[in-house]
Chain A
Amino acid sequence: MPKVSVEDLKAGMKLAKALSRGNMVLLGEGTVLTETWISRIGDMGVDAIFVDGPSEQPIPKEEAIRQLDLRFRNVLDKPYMERIKKMVQEHIERLYV
């Protein structure tokens, strides 16, 4: 779930976390944003909110996996490292769906 700054919010985006002030929930999780909500969020002085969907990744998936291979190249024979690498690889692949 990407954190999007108020300037970049667009109508139709869905809140991934409730937006609250103190103990009061202002907009619940799953709220679909409208232009009105977006301008009110801005008026409240909120900088950024979490919306649904995968975060935008700075590099393409193939490049991310290539760098992952490079990072692990010296330790794959060490205990647990292959398993850790597999978990990180699965995590990275989930970021690109």
Chain B
Amino acid sequence: MSRLPPLLFGIFLVFTAAWFGVVGYSYLQLGRMEPVVDENTGDVNPPPLSGLATAGQRVYAANGCVSCHTQQVRSGAFSTDVEKKLGPRPTVARDYLRESPAFLGSLRIGPDLTNVGLRSSEVNWFHKHLYEPAATTPGSNMPSYRFLYEYRRIVGQPSAEAVVGLKGPHAPRPGYEVVPSEDARVLVAYLLSLKRDYSLPEAEPLQ
């Protein structure tokens, strides 16, 4: 190996193998998956995201939620994800069709969020949790996302959107209220949309 051209050629060959194998396959096969229509209900699965949820994805990305939360229910003999009730079935590639980016995550510093929309549908709970996590989940080490909320004096009627039942050091004083910003509202809409309970031909929910 004392000459440049054979070395260059060898590196090129060896590198291309993995490049085609992983990237090429993903791009050509996984990248061209299509949604499926459920014959019984006529639903399109995975369901399209609402405009609010799509905007919420961007807030989720911007604040690095993926650093601590996975969004995958693993399959396989060694995984207990389904037993732990993270979801009715393992997630498959087609589930992420409409995600961009796909927030698979690699750490569970916080709980998995694949099906967080199935666990609670109460908008106010999500706002309370994001505003002061330790107040809704004692012992939580999630940071507060107060910066997504407006702390303001009540002028006239209290806002219909104001977060109710806040506790903890940052709860509003009398005469004040905490109102979700646009970012907080779309983020909660996105979290509520996270439900992987539909069937796909390759992944039926376990009964």
Q: Do the two shown chains form a genuine complex with each other?
A: no
B contacts, CB < 8 Å to A: none
A residues contacting B by CB (< 8 A) are none
